[in-house]
Chains A and B, each alone.
Chain A
Amino acid sequence: MAVKSLKKQGSDLAQSNKQLEILSNGIFQSGELPTFKNKISETNQFPLKAKKLEILQINVGYMCNQVCDHCHVDAGPDRKEIMTRDTMRQCLEVIKNSGAHTLDLTGGAPEMNPDFRWFVEEAAKVGIKDFIVRSNLTIIRANKKYYDLPEFFKKHNVHVVSSMPHWTRGKTDKQRGDGVFDKSIKALQELNAVGYGMPNSDLRLDLVYNPSGAFLPGDQASMEKDFKKALLEDFNIQFHNLFAITNLPIARFLDYLIASENYEDYMFSLVEAYNPAAVKNVMCTNTLSISWDGYLFDCDFNQMLELPVNSKVKHISEYNEELLEGRNIVISQHCYGCTAGAGSSCQGNTIPAEAGIS
């Protein structure tokens, strides 16, 4: 596991332009990688257009108690970027006035933002249908001040979406750090204890699986079955759905791919698994991603690559639905990650899983 963020290390890859340069002009020994733009043009899907806004994904800060190997945000305890209450107020205005039905809080560890609870309380009042907090689980066990989070989530009917790389200790700790598995298990048991994840419970608890190395996620439905069986048998843990998410070649995962000499193979794997049917429902078409300082992006990945929305409107304070709807989505080679296999989004597969070998 990484000990500190790429930014703290002073790595070249902490700069988005360096990452984009590798993604666009990476050296490939065995042939050129086709451009994503050309690939989607083959099925007349270029340019990708934004549809009506359904999901507002807000990154409330890059601060995190973990430093995971694969993190595309390059989050960690040394990252200080954090959303202010003023920017949160601007987001609340948009939530009230837009047709978005889902609010998706992410980070870093969103719970570490000092105004996190205030924001949840305020946002819960405005009639959002699905209020998601992406929790890394260990934060619930990191410090006494977070111990009551399961009760807090329950009080505000928060939909908890938690990272869980594997049902075994070895694979989980390898990706996310020593001791993460045991803390995650304890946190899941505490969430279950207040009613989260139970078969007929409205308190939604979903898990996110992303591969621990340079390979793509397997069939989501099969993985969910395996996760459910193992977590129930070994730890009496229950949850609702598993979202399988492909690792995108950004930030620390890109650094890992290059250092382990897996970059070329991984990019070819993404291209080989490219599925034109997955393009239709990519998350960027109905989602707007807002950075900690209020700027607008088509998705969290574009946010990390500093590729802003293609619109006159650049900041949440200038939000204008008419100007943003129908905009051309900004794409690059990393977009292959969301269109491989059954498709990948923050809500897992974008199309039903296909049978057969991948």
Chain B
Amino acid sequence: MSKTYYDPADLRKFGNITEWSEELGNKFFEYYGKVFEEGALTAREKSLIALAVAHTEQCPYCIDAYSKDTLQRGVTKEEMMEAIHVGAAIKSGATLVHGVQMMNKVNKLDG
């Protein structure tokens, strides 16, 4: 089997990060757990946000985890893809809006 940087089985070892820094690791997981509890947003809505962010962050572990998590919550394929498009729109918008900065600079330098 070819070696790659990412091994899907490593996702199951995520909790092991506490072994080398117990206090900080535990604090992170406590925070993480709280974030995903039902609140003003439903757990389903939070899962869709997480799926979109997983893609903009291009984290393969997060994509695996939240593809499964959204499926478990009854989310449809169409909803999942729409969420990713939202992430993609923000990501490309964030790139393009910096074009204004570029234009400002060019206008200042070159009239």
Tell me if chain B binds chain A.
yes
Q: How far is the CA of A217 from the CA of B71 in the complex (A)?
A: 8
How far apart are B28's CB and chain A's nearest CB, in angstroms? 13
Does B72 sit at the interface, judged by CB under 8 A? yes
Whether A356 pairs with B12 at a CB distance below 8 angstroms is no
Does A118 sit at the interface, judged by CB under 8 A? no
Does A219 sit at the interface, judged by CB under 8 A? yes
Give the contacts of A146-182 with B (CB-CB under 8 A). Answer: 166-168, 170-171
Whether B36 pairs with A223 at a CB distance below 8 angstroms is no
Whether A218 pairs with B73 at a CB distance below 8 angstroms is yes
Give the contacts of B59-92 with A (CB-CB under 8 A). Answer: 68-69, 71-74, 76-77
In-complex Cβ contact of B33 among A170, A215, A219, A356 (8 A): A356
Whether A355 pairs with B72 at a CB distance below 8 angstroms is no
Q: How far is the CA of A170 from the CA of B75 in the complex (A)?
A: 12
Question: For chain A, what secondary structure do more than half of its interface residues adopt (helix, strand, loop), or is it mixed?
Answer: loop
Does B44 sit at the interface, judged by CB under 8 A? yes
- CB-nearest residue of chain B to A170: B76
Question: For chain B, what secondary structure do more than half of its interface residues adopt (helix, strand, loop), or is it mixed?
Answer: helix
Whether B74 pairs with A357 at a CB distance below 8 angstroms is no
Q: How far is the CA of A269 from the CA of B71 in the complex (A)?
A: 14
Give the contacts of A104-144 with B (CB-CB under 8 A). Answer: none
Q: A30-B9, A30-B12, A272-B12 are contacts. A358–B69 as well, Cβ < 8 Å?
A: yes
Whether B71 pairs with A168 at a CB distance below 8 angstroms is no
Whether A211 pairs with B72 at a CB distance below 8 angstroms is yes
Contact-size category for A: 20 to 34
Give the contacts of B15-71 with A (CB-CB under 8 A). Answer: 32-33, 36-38, 42-44, 68-69, 71
Q: A355-B37, A357-B33 are contacts. A211–B71 as well, Cβ < 8 Å?
A: yes
- CB-nearest residue of chain A to B10: A30
Q: A30-B9, A219-B43, A272-B12 are contacts. A356–B72 as well, Cβ < 8 Å?
A: no
Whether A223 pairs with B73 at a CB distance below 8 angstroms is yes
Binary CB contact string for chain A from 209 to 229 against chain B (1 if under 8 A, 0 otherwise): 101010111110011001100
Q: How far is the CA of A217 from the CA of B69 in the complex (A)?
A: 9
How far apart are A100's CB and chain B's nearest CB, in angstroms? 34
Q: How far is the CA of A168 from the CA of B75 in the complex (A)?
A: 10
Whether B74 pairs with A223 at a CB distance below 8 angstroms is yes
- CB-nearest residue of chain A to B50: A357
How far apart are B29's CB and chain A's nearest CB, in angstroms? 10
Q: How far is the CA of A268 from the CA of B44 in the complex (A)?
A: 23
List residues of chain A with CB within 8 A of the CB of B36: 356-357
List residues of chain B with CB within 8 A of the CB of A218: 44, 72-74
Closest 10 A-B residue pairs measured CB to CB? Answer: A218-B72, A218-B73, A30-B9, A357-B36, A355-B37, A215-B71, A356-B33, A215-B68, A215-B72, A356-B37
Could you show 9 A-B contacts with beta carbons less than 8 Å apart?
A: A167-B74, A168-B76, A215-B68, A217-B72, A226-B44, A269-B68, A356-B36, A357-B32, A358-B72
- Report B's interface with A, CB cutoff 8 A: 9, 12, 32-33, 36-38, 42-44, 68-69, 71-74, 76-77
- Report A's interface with B, CB cutoff 8 A: 29-30, 166-168, 170-171, 209, 211, 213, 215-219, 222-223, 226-227, 268-269, 272, 355-358
